[in-house]
Every structure is written in structure tokens, then in C-alpha cells.
Structure 1
Amino acid sequence: MKFDMTAVFQRLLDEAYRVVAALPLLIFALLIVWAAWLAGRWISQRAWVAHASKSNPFLQDLARTTVRWFVLGLGVLIALEIMQATALVGAVLGTAGVLGVALGFAFKGILENYLAGILMSVRQPFSPRDHVVIDGNEGIVVALTSRATVLMTLDGNHLRIPNALVFGSVTLNYTRNPSRRFDFEIGVGVNEDLIRAQSLGIDELTRIEGVMDKPPPRALITALGDSNVQVAFHGWVDQRAHEFLQVRSEAIRRVKLALERAGMDMPEPIYRVQLHEARKTEAGKDATPGREGSGAGVSKPVDTRATKDVLEQIDNEQQSHPQNDLLDPAAPRE
């Protein structure tokens, strides 16, 4: 059996002639792609590209990258059209579509966090150092990155929450409105004058440093128990100048002492009888355990001013781990 290779050689020779004839067009097409790459890089560096997002470095980089790749893609299409290879464009786009779907499923979490970071950098739902609660996680906002929101918890721990979770969760912002209300309840005996108990508590709240005059403190009767009546006291704190928890703690202590000085009965559900001998101090004051003298003494004032413990730790965190924060304190917030 004899094989005739003449037809094969002739086909290869024709293809070689075709490639040589197409070399000028191929070189011209490559020059167009190279020119498009240079033009895209030049256009992306123009000031007007980043003008719409001049306060957001993340969007600036995204806009420049988008413009650069768009111009480059346009140049590739023109080059393929010159070489009469437009059929290849459809095949490439189809392959890119299938590949994009596959990558979308594979990196679903990463893409969700990335897109959520873009949207939140535009919306600015909170500012740096805002006191927030996100999906049950409470802390001070340190930074917003492209993938996560960084918080410093009130006990000084570093907390990273994925942006997709932050974007879809309910966010409680304590800093947006500096005035914050505290409340607590005290049980008063059923035979006591409840109006007098409310008045005594409100008068004491108005004398506490850190409790705002407007809105004024209030007292409400909330429940009738088996052995007492629950009276709820409310007051407002300006968190910019005073520590919320410290003011609430001082309010509970002072209102309790005010009611005790007035002889108000504050019974417990379970009663305990203790027999002991009272001791006298050198000053002649009653030192019986569980009592603060007769209640007429003046205790040391409690400092209720706002503390900066967590803020100092945030400063140290930002200095030791500098990062590109997408939040702008001067930007308008939703």
C-alpha cells in the first residue's frame, strides 16, 4: 500500500502562504491592541474619571480599572474585526460567560463581600468610631475594607464581620443620635405612697451630673407584684460628654439611697432575718454590715464623664496596622 503525501504537503503549503499573507494585518492588529492598552492607561489617569468618587479611594481604583479594561477590550474587538475573525469573538464571549458563571459559584462569598463593600462605601451607613450593634455584635467601628467591617468590641477585642453580613443585617447605631435613654426598675412596698416615690426618684435624677434636663427624667409604674410595685425610672444621657453605663449606675445608686432616706419600704420576694450586734467606728458612726450609715452622709462624687479607653486602643490599632479605610467621616450618611 502506497501513501500519497502530496495533498497533505500542498495543504500545509497553502496554510503557510495564508499565514505569511496575513502577517501585515496581524502586526497591525497587535499595534492596535498595544495602542488601546496605552490609551486606556492614559484615560484612566485623568482627573475626570475619579471626580465622581474623589472621596472614596476604593471607587477611584475601581473606576480607573474599569475604564482601562473597557478601552483595551474595544481595541481587541477592532483588531479582530480587521483580521476578519469576528466569529472568534462570539466563541470567546460564550466561553467567558460560562467561565464567569462557574467562577461566580466558586467565589460566591468573596464576590458578595466585595459588592457589599462597594455599596456600603457609597452609602456610608456609619462613620469611623461609631458605636454600633451589627447582627448582635457590639463595638466601635475601626474601618471598612473591601471584604470586611472591622470593629473594636467594648472589651478591647478585634472583630471582623463580612461585608455581606453587615449589608443584610439590622444595624443599631448609638452614635448617630448622641442622646440615649437609660431605664431601671425599683420595687416599692405596696403600702407606700407611689406618687411620692416617683417624685423622690425624679428629683434625685435631676441632681445627677450627666442626666439631661431635656428630655426630663420620668418615672412610671410598670407592674404590681406579689410583695411590691415596680416603678421604672427613665433618664437621658448625652454620650458625647458622659459615659452611658456610668451615669446609669450612678442613677440606680442615688435613687435607691434617696428612697431609703425617705423611709420607703423596698421589700424582697424572700425575707431573711439576721441577728447581729452593731459596731461603732472611731467616729461613732454605725458600721453595721449592709448599711451605708444613716443615709445622711455625703458620698464621694462619681465621675461620669465619657471615657476614651476603647478609642485609645483604636488609635493603636490603626497605627500598627494601617489599612485602606473606605469610610469618610466627612461624607453624607444615609
Structure 2
Amino acid sequence: MRRVRLIALCLIATLAPPPLTAQLGQVPPPAAAPDAPAKVATVPDETIRERVRAIIDGLDGYRDVGVTVRAGIVTLTGHAIDRAAITRLVGLVEATEGVVAVENRIEESTDIAERLDPAIERAQDRLAKTIAFLPLLGIALAAAVAVAFAGVLLARLRQPWERLAPNAFIADIYRQIVRLVFILGGIVVGLDLLNATALLGTFLGAAGLVGLAIGFAVKDTVENFIASVMLSIRQPFAPNDVVEIDGDEGKVIRLTSRATILLSYDGNHIRIPNATVFKTRIVNYTRNPQRRFLFKIGVEADSDLARARKLMEDTITALPYTIDVPGVLVWIEDLNETGAVFAVTGWIDQRHTSLLRARGEAIRMVKNAVERHGFAIPDTTYRIRLEGMTGAAPPPEDKAPPRKVPPPDAAALPEDVPGDVKSVDDSALERFITEERARPETPDLLHPAAPKE
């Protein structure tokens, strides 16, 4: 009977529903872990007190500090010079073996004399260290000055800088670079003797920031300086050259570190910033000895234009101051209500012939030749008639066609002999430029030996 009951109980336990927490898929919370054992003192209180007292006696900045230890708990009382000293002491006591906790009752001192004494002691200590450091500082300073002075002496030499540089301006730049390199070298040597080379990075960083700020502030000046260097290295003109720069035409006086000085044909000084000269278009009329002149002349449209063109070419070719290569060229430029317009060109050697005089004489000779051979130059005079105004005479009913102006009598024309077209006497201008360039207070960057563009 007992066995039957046992079997029935087992069946009931098997068929019974699971607990509610199991049905919901939840796991019952774990049993609470027992509390960790508290920190217990393993060192006698007297030993801890002696160790803490030894720590306090070895430090400065504490007054009337009392130490009480009970069951490993240290209680501190008294005064300290500042809050940092209190924090430091508490940290040292907490790190002492056997200390369970620290109860800090130390107060910050308000005694003026007590607070000033450490500062005075620190100042005296630093003064003593500085006095002991003075010999080494003097040696480092002497070494730095010696290196910098050697660079200054080297930069003062004329050679090899003037031999290496294309002009005096570039030579001065070389000298400035040498001075700067030696000065920096002296600073590095001095800091190395003081074992303070880490300061060099700070110094160079600050110098870089200052240089960047100055560069933005004087951008135009820096741009002018760089343009001066480039123009002095590759010179696009020479003294006394006739040039046109940014619409200004004249003779070159000098190239300075800031501007290019021209002398206009009116006798005026023209100062053009080198940044503008470097970026703008430069026309040098002197660099090529051969130069072309051009003018235009018209004949009536019903003339023999081919014969007129040949006549103009022969006239220009026969002039004694025109050169054969490049040759003379004449072409019909335009046809308008006045007739045919011819463009006439010829070449001269401007080292011996004045361009303006040669062009003027060529115009005179071509005009005489055209009129001698029966070609009429159109009259471009216009007559303006105002109609409808009070008091004006009424226009005539019949208007005769305009009368052509007959060519002048060949006998009345002047003799066909070319005039003097020698080069214009610019000795006065050249003498003025020579005097300007000889002034010592105005150095020139143009050098005859420099490469030309």
C-alpha cells in the first residue's frame, strides 16, 4: 500500500504545471552574495602613528599637526600652509601600510608670515641656483655671440658674394641669409650648452607665427621684394632702353628694390612698382635694332591702284635709310567714300636712324611721288549745312556735283630729296640718366653681366 502511494505522488509531481516564473521564461534572481569583508587593520596602531609622524616630520609646510590612530583609522589635526599641502599629506597617509581610513581635520593656515616664508625660501633657493648657473650661462652666451659674430664678419666680405650674385642686390640678400644662419647657429650652440634645446622649437614656432602675421600685413611689400629679386636676376631691360610698361613709355633710369624708374620724353620721372612691372606687359623698343615704321595714305578710287602701290614701294625702297631685310611692304588697307587707303611700311636700323624722322620723311617722299605721277590724294574735308534754323539761307534748287581737286603742278612741287633722318640727339637725356645713375644714394639693380630675357 505504501508503494502505491509513493508511485501516485511521483505521478502527481510529474503531471503538475511548472511554477509561474518558469512559465513566463524568467529566471529567479540569484541569491545575494555575502558582503565583502571590510578592510581590517593588520598593523598595530602605534606603528601606524609612528610612520605617519615620520612622514609629517619629513615635510615642510605643516604646523602643530596631531596624529591619532584607532583601529587603523588615522585622525589628523593642525594647520597646513595651503590646500595643496593638505591634499598631499592625506594621499601619503592613505598609502601608508595598515591605514584603514583617514579623517582629515587639518585646516589651511591664515598666518601671513607663515605663508610668506616658503615663498621667500623658494626665491632664495632660485637665486642661489641662478648664481651657481651664471658661469655656464656666460660660457653659452659667449659661444653664441662668437658664432654670430663670425657670420657677421663673413657677410661683410665682398667676395665670394659679389662673384656668385648677378648684382649687388642679390649679393646683399646672400649676406643677410649668411647672417641669419650664423645667428641661429649661435642660438642653437648656446642652448645646447645649457641643455635647453627644447626651447629652440618654441622659439622657431613663435617666430613662424609672427612672420606669418607680418607677411599678411605687408603682402604688397613682400610681393614687391620678390618681384625685385626676379627682375634683377632676369633683366628684361637695361639702362637707357626705351620701354613701354603698363602704358607708360620712356627711358629706363634704374631698377631699385621697390620700383622701376623711367624718364619720359617730357622729362618726368615715372616710378612703377616692381610687382606691376613683373606682372604686366613690357615692350622694349631698344632690344631689337631693326624697327618698322608704318603710315597710311589714300588715293582716289578710280586711279590705277596697282601702279600706285608699285610707285609707293619703289619710293620707300629707294630711301637711303631703309634696310633690305625685312623689306618694304605696301598693301591696300581699305576702300571708303574718299578712295583707296594704302598701308606703307619700311624698316630702319634705329641705332643710326631716328624712327620718327624716318617715318616723317617717308610720308613726304611718298606724297610727292604720288602727286608727281598724277595720282590725286582725296580731300577729306566735310562741309556741314544746318537746315531749318532761323535766318539760314534756303538751299539752292540745283546743286552742282563736287569738283575734284586737280593734282598740283609737278613743277611747283618741292625737290624730291630725302632729308636728314639721323638718330635723334638724345645726348641730353642720356647725360641726365647717367648723372642720376651715378648718385650713390640710389643704388641700381641693373647689371651689364646679368642674363637678359
Identity score, percent? 41
Residues 39, 71 of structure 1: 8 Å contact kept? yes
2:291 to 170, 180, 195: 180
| Partner residue in 1 for 2:259 | 148
Report the residue type matching 2:164 in the other structure: A
Residues 368, 413 of structure 2: 8 Å contact kept? no
| Partner residue in 1 for 2:326 | 215
Structure-1 separation of matches of 2:148 and 2:449: 36
Aligned length: 316
Describe how 1:88-167 pairs up with structure 2 within 5 A.
Answer: 88-167=199-278
2:342 to 210, 216, 231: 231
**Deviation digits for residues 123-173 of structure 1 (CA, Å, limit 9, x no counterpart):** 111111111111111111111111111111122211111111001111111
| Partner residue in 1 for 2:163 | 51
Structure-1 separation of matches of 2:421 and 2:159: 49
Residues 50, 63 of structure 1: 8 Å contact kept? no
Once the two structures are overlaid, the 10-residue window that deviates more, 36-45 or 290-299, is: 290-299
2:411 to 276, 294, 305: 294
TM-score, length of structure 2 as denominator length = 0.66
| Partner residue in 2 for 1:318 | 437
Shift of 1:22: 1.3
Shift of 1:218: 1.6
Shift of 1:253: 1.4
Alignment RMSD (CA, Å): 2.2
SS at the partner of 2:414? coil
Q: Does 1:243 align with 2:360?
A: no
Gaps spanning 5+ residues in structure 1: where? 273-289
Report the residue type matching 1:204 in the other structure: T
Shift of 1:330: 3.3
Question: Could you say if the C-alpha distance between residues 291 and 148 of structure 1 is closer, same or farther in structure 2, counting changes exceeding 3 Å?
Answer: farther
Residues 319, 418 of structure 2: 8 Å contact kept? no
**Deviation digits for residues 85-144 of structure 1 (CA, Å, limit 9, x no counterpart):** 233222222221221122112222222111111111111111111111111111111111
Residues 261, 295 of structure 1: 8 Å contact kept? no
Structure-2 separation of matches of 1:46 and 1:316: 26
1:305 to 416, 422, 432: 422
**Deviation digits for residues 264-308 of structure 1 (CA, Å, limit 9, x no counterpart):** 022134467xxxxxxxxxxxxxxxxx9797344326753211123
Question: Could you say if the C-alpha distance between residues 271 and 19 of structure 1 is closer, same or farther in structure 2, counting changes exceeding 3 Å?
Answer: closer
SS at the partner of 1:208? coil
Residues 233, 451 of structure 2: 8 Å contact kept? no
TM-score, length of structure 1 as denominator length = 0.88
SS at the partner of 1:175? coil
Report the residue type matching 1:312 in the other structure: R
Question: Could you say if the C-alpha distance between residues 213 and 245 of structure 1 is closer, same or farther in structure 2, counting changes exceeding 3 Å?
Answer: same
Q: Does 1:80 align with 2:199?
A: no
Describe how 1:28-47 pairs up with structure 2 within 5 A.
Answer: 28-44=139-155, 45=157, 47=159
- Larger radius of gyration between Structure 1 and Structure 2: 2
| Partner residue in 2 for 1:12 | 123
Report the residue type matching 2:234 in the other structure: R
Where relative contact order (Cα < 8 A, 6+ residues apart) is larger, the structure is 1
Question: Could you say if the C-alpha distance between residues 213 and 171 of structure 1 is closer, same or farther in structure 2, counting changes exceeding 3 Å?
Answer: same
Shift of 1:36: 0.7
